[in-house]
Amino acid sequence: MDSIVVTGGGPLSGEIPIAGAKNACLALMPATLLSEDPLTLTNAPRLSDIKTMTTLLQSLGAEATGLQDGQVLAMSSHDLTSSRADYDIVRKMRASNLVLGPLIARFGHAEVSLPGGCAIGARPMDLHTFGLEKLGAEIDLRDGYLFAKAPNGLKGAEIPLKFASVGATENIVMAATLAKGTTVLTNAAREPEIVDLVKCLRAMGAQIEGEGTSRIEIQGVDRLHGATHQVVADRIELGTYMLAPAIAGGEVECLGGKLDLVAAFVEKLDEAGVAVEETERGLKVSRKNGRLKAVDVTTEPFPGFPTDLQAQFMAMLCTADGTSELNETIFENRFMHAPELTRMGAEIEVHGGRARVTGVDKLRGAPVMATDLRASVSLILAGLAAEGETVVSRVYHLDRGYEHVVRKLRGVGAQIERVKA
């Protein structure tokens, strides 16, 4: 099993290009199921999760090619052969459940295994099924599969979500594009990835208003056509690499970054003593003066502080002056990186969904183990600030969400290498 070795100590300098958003692309890819015409995505990230979704679409009979020689992903669902998403594929990735809404909308039936993914919380499917049932689908859970059918087709409905779930919002919006009549989704998630999905669906002929707000209105159409769409920049990768110079020192420009993707995150960086400057090409990041300051953080749905940046931000706070409190409100099991950071000399106390981090002068390199995607990169960031060598094992998690992380960090001066098992 591969590991990543980081030797800390030096400041960083240079540019890091930000890839297309993994979470946006994983929602955009199932949209191909809504039309028999081709859908082409540009700026698609080269990640294992994208390969998994490609495999899933191909198992349904869709054509999906590309990414080997670039960041263009070409798909077509003109001749699907199956509406069953098997456990062997779906178990690898939570986002696999996003084929459910499109399959029901276009074909009137689907069999989708309950999904897998990082072990950071329960993340149930009840909001997905609630919304799809409101549209007229009949859904039963048997033997670990959701068996769905819409014998009378899908019909527009009022759908109030009890929680602003990103995945449920995406599944419901995609299904509603082909439903008869008008669907109004309230308490919808507002993430940029949803705005990007709606932009793509609109290019395919969907009639949707309100994306980026808590109320989305969809007027169903008879069919959607093909389109070409550029995937939005990955705000989580952006935030991750913005933390690299904050932790290690120096100055890094994140190419393609935009403030509106990470506004709440940037506010907390500013409180901690990190300067962020918007440039023509992206965002330039450096420390202001002296040691960073402790900051309290509460994760929230967008536009609040992202749960997907909590682990990385904790790594920065490990050497900040004072005591910080992190309140995790999205996933109930998202502090698994804390024990690994303490192996590096961090002082962290975890009580349920809260963590107290008391900054130390220095972290020390140590062998640590990645427990999930964001935890894995948080340990790499911590290694940039640590004395000596940090060896991060189980880095297969990293391949799910970060494209060329070793190459990008090495390009700005980090001493980092991937070691084959």
In 22-77, where do the E strands start and end? 39-42, 63-66, 73-76
Longest CA–CA separation in the chain, Å = 65
Selected catalytic residue, list 118, 200, 254, 318: 118
The reply, when asked if residue 23 is annotated as ligand binding, is yes
Q: Contact 390/379 with Cβ under 8 angstroms?
A: yes
Was 260 annotated as part of a binding site?
A: no
H helical segments located in 318-393: 338-342, 373-385
At 101, is the secondary structure helix, strand, or coil? helix
For residues 20 and 231, the answer to whether their CB atoms sit within 8 Å is yes
Could you please report the per-residue DSSP string of 273-298? TEEEEE-SSEEEEEE-SSS-B---EE
123 is in an annotated binding site: yes
Q: How deeply is 352 buried, as exposed, middle or buried, from its count of CB atoms within 10 A (0-12, 13-18, 19+)? A: exposed
Q: Where are the alpha helices (DSSP H) in 158-234?
A: 166-176, 192-203
| Three-state secondary structure call for residue 114 | coil
Closest CA to 175 of 121, 213, 128, 142: 128
Contacting residues for 372 by C-beta, under 8 A, at least 6 apart: 118, 119, 120, 334, 336, 337, 397
Establish whether 420 is an annotated binding residue: no
Asked whether residue 308 is marked as a ligand-binding residue, the answer is yes
Task: Kindly state the tokens that stand for 418.
Answer: 């991937």
Residue 124 annotated as binding site: yes
- 118: annotated active-site residue: yes
Which tokens is 369 given? Answer: 């183990």
Question: Is 380 flagged in the annotation as binding?
Answer: no
DSSP code for 238:
H
Pairs from 295-299 (Cβ < 8 Å, separation ≥ 24): 295/268, 295/271, 295/320, 295/324, 296/324, 296/325, 296/326, 296/327, 297/268, 297/324, 297/325, 297/326, 297/327, 298/326, 298/327, 298/329, 299/326, 299/327, 299/328, 299/329, 299/330
User: Within its chain, how far is the Cα of 173 from the centroid?
Assistant: 18
Written as six digits, the tokens of 259 are 């403030």
288 is in an annotated binding site: no
Binding site for UDP-N-acetyl-alpha-D-glucosamine, by residue number, is 94, 123-127, 308, 330
**Hey, which residues are catalytic here?**
118
Binding site, by residue number, is 22-23, 94, 123-127, 308, 330
Binding site for phosphoenolpyruvate, by residue number, is 22-23
